[in-house]
Chain A
Amino acid sequence: MAVPKVCGLETEYGILVRGADNNPVTASALLINAYTGAAQEQVAFDLIAEDPQRDARSPDPLDPYEFDPELEYTPVNAVLTNGARYYVDHAHPEMSTPEVRTPREAVIWDRAGEEIIRQSMTAAQRLVPDGAEILIHKNNSDGKGNSYGCHENYLVDRGLPFGKVISAVMAHFVTRQVFAGAGKVGCELPGMASDSVSFQISQRADFFEEEVGLETTVRRPIVNTRDEPHCDPAKYRRLHVIAGDANMSEVATFLKVASTAMLLAAAEDDPMMEMPALANPVRAITQVSHDPTLTAVVSTYEGTTVRAIEVQWQLFEIARLWVERTGGEAVGEEDCNLALRQWEQILSGLESDPLTVADRVDWVAKQRLINAYADRHNVVAGSASLRAIDLQYHDMRPSKGLASRCGLVTLVDGNEVQQATTHPPTSTRAYFRGRCVERYGHDIIAANWDSMVFDIGVDPLRRVPMDDPLRGTAELVANVIDNSATAVDLVAALAEPIG
């Protein structure tokens, strides 16, 4: 039986300081401290409980970027009342959404993350020198060969062999960019000139060098094998996905998550299911990306050739049959039905006239702006103004961002997003985490994805394990939290069996 597809998104934002020392590490720290200082009691994320590889994410003392002596540097790693983790990763501000139970919730908390970034920019503006400005972009590349990620995470049954996980998602990760690509001016594939591709579908496709592997910063693999479940490893895996673009379109984020979750669930329910397989996924992911006409063919494992959209139709059919057979419970029935309708409409639209989906597919929306601008001003492909439009599509400043101006349809309403900036989802253990930060922040020594540590005034510290992402929900713990005025009360109440 497919396990519930608890999921989450981690977005590294591009950051640039204008009018002052452009130090991305300091600026990221300033941004986050400005927000947490203004918004809530600070609760530190507990890096000690992470495995050594995650420890490597803390700032490197040998970092070539010098810290600005005028700004106090604090390693920043905060847990928010909405259950998210907000921190400095390498030289970027990163927002990890709380664990959510459905793709629609993933959209809500991803959008809430954007809103928190905007609030952070406002708060930080008061702390930077006159004339200076921190610019933030929700993109994945600087156009010069440097990439940063938008990762997805999915709860997967440990019983499904990893080889089956790989075959369930490999062809999807190569081809889902036709609806989930965020678009890019130019090429960053090593060995190719920047202007050898005037416009491509994906921000990220140029950066993958392996089919499967552990790395995320060098020799990036299409399927990442990091095995760090942040929950009971005997029951679950956490599939950590690095082969995706950060989306501005809510429909694209929704469909990216829903389609992937449905295919994983389908594989869990029928591990013997035939999935489309490509001969050379690493080559194919750039072939697909470099062809916005959507006519290019890639080689299949069987030796035939196929267009990316044809692969997507096969995957759509697998997901459709899975929903028909199971009702889609593991992903959420309503979400599955909405996702299947959108998937079908978008693939049909892309085949007939891509402009019909310019209101929900980022790369189409961006290409439309770029083509229209190039026509009006008679500028050549790849020119600086077109690259500026590319960057500005992802600009988080409301006064400058182009994505919010080009008619993208929305899936969730602004009130839900506002609520989600300070409130956790009710459907996962993130509820427990967020409510505890909100109510007992002062007494929390550390928080992690799978535990919280409280100081209740007497030794020893009390660690509350959260091994199961599906416990700690509002249904299970809202009353306990509501009835516990202090962390002491909470820890005592949790020692009692929850009825």
Chain B
Amino acid sequence: MPDRIQRKKTERQSEEVAEAEVTPTESAAIDDIDDLLDEIDEILEENAEEFVRSYVQKGGE
């Protein structure tokens, strides 16, 4: 029983966090697009052409 009370409390706190977090912002992300592009340059698949060509899936569902 104490478990469940604790859990409820946690849910409520995180909902408050959620509210704060999804308040629309002039997204900070937009300002650091250059930093992000630097990172993409580092981690993008080395041989993009080969990677894209080899990416073949079977249809699903």
> Do A410 and B58 form a contact, CB below 8 Å, given A359-B27, A391-B51, A400-B43?
no
Contacting chain B: which of A273-281, A322-330, A412-420, A452-460? A412-420
Residue-wise, chain A 419-459 has the 8 Å CB interface mask toward B (1 for contact) of 00000000000000000000000000000000000000000
Interchain CB contact under 8 A, A14 and B57: yes
Distance between Cα atoms of A416 and B11 in the complex (Å): 8
Contacting B at CB under 8 A, from A177-233, are: 216-217
How many Å from the CB of A20 to the closest CB on chain B? 13
Q: Is A351 an interface residue (CB 8 A)?
A: no
Once the chains bind, are B61 and A148 in contact (CB under 8 Å)? yes
Q: Are A24 and B58 in contact (CB under 8 A)?
A: yes
- In contact, B44 and A358 (Cβ under 8 angstroms): no
List which B27-61 residues lie within 8 A (CB) of chain A. Answer: 27-30, 32-33, 36-37, 39-40, 43-45, 48-49, 51-61
Given contacts A91-B57, A356-B27, contact A391 B52 (CB under 8 A): yes
Hey, which chain A residues are within 8 Å of B22, CB to CB? 251, 338, 342, 360, 409, 411
Interface string of A141-157 (1 = CB under 8 A from B): 11110111101000000
**Contacting A359 at CB < 8 Å: which of B10, B15, B29, B37?**
B29
Q: Is the CB of A90 within 8 A of B61?
A: yes
> A407 within 8 Å of B by Cβ?
yes
Q: Is the interface of A mostly helix, strand, loop or mixed?
A: mixed
Complex CA–CA separation, A387 to B39 (angstroms):
17
Contacts of A251 in B (CB 8 A): 22
Q: Mark A360-400, 1 if CB is under 8 A from B, else 0.
A: 10000000110011001000000011011101100000011
Does B18 belong to the interface (CB within 8 Å)? yes
Q: Is B17 an interface residue (CB 8 A)?
A: yes
The complex places the Cα of A16 from the Cα of B51 at a distance, in Å, of: 10
Measured between beta carbons, the chain B residues less than 8 angstroms from A91 are 57-58, 60
Please state if A217 and B61 are interface contacts (CB–CB under 8 Å).
Answer: yes
CB <8 Å contact, B56 and A142: yes
Q: Within 8 Å CB of B17, what residues of A? A: 413
Residue pair A92, B44 in contact (C-beta under 8 Å): no
Residues of B with C-beta under 8 A to A92: 57-58, 60
Which one, B39, B48, B51, B53, contacts A405 given CB within 8 A? B39
- A376–B14 Cα distance when bound, in Å, is 39
A285 within 8 A of B: no
Knowing A216-B61, A384-B52 are in contact, say whether A407-B29 is a contact too (CB < 8 A): yes
Q: Min CB distance, B3 to chain A, in Å?
A: 10
- Would A388 and B28 be within 8 Å (CB), given that A146-B58, A369-B36 are in contact? no
| CB-based nearest B residue for A91 | B58
Distance in angstroms from B48 CB to nearest chain A CB is: 4
A100 within 8 A of B: no
Q: Which residues of B6-27 have CB atoms within 8 Å of chain A's CB atoms? A: 10-11, 14-15, 17-19, 21-22, 24-27
Residues of chain A in range 1-46 having any CB-CB distance to chain B below 8 Å: 12, 14-16, 18, 22, 24
Beyond known contacts A407-B32, A409-B25: 16 more, CB 8 A cutoff: A16-B54, A16-B55, A16-B57, A24-B58, A91-B57, A91-B60, A141-B57, A142-B55, A149-B61, A355-B30, A359-B25, A360-B22, A369-B40, A384-B52, A385-B44, A416-B14
